[in-house]
Amino acid sequence: MKERAEQAQFVIKVPKELKDVFFDICHANDRHASQVLRDLMREYTAKHAQGRLKLK
């Protein structure tokens, strides 16, 4: 049986208009906002982590 990766949750504050437009764009592209945010976090971390994190 595969082990599930440890997961964490966090809350961020953004302007309502930014959140609304972001969610609309995600929906229009048939993506969940959480998927897009994870992708953005992976890209940013890969660029700036300087080898501190091994991403799959």
Tell me the domain boundaries of the chain: 16-48
Q: What percent of the chain has pLDDT over 90?
A: 61
The pLDDT value recorded for residue 22 is 98
Query: For 25-41, what is the mean pLDDT?
Result: 97
Q: What are phi and psi of 8, to 5 degrees?
A: -135, 160
CB proximity list for 33: less than 8 A, separation 6 or greater: 22, 23, 26
pLDDT tens-digit series, residues 6-32: 889 989 999 999 999 999 999 999 999
For the whole model, what pTM was predicted? 0.75
The pLDDT value recorded for residue 44 is 92
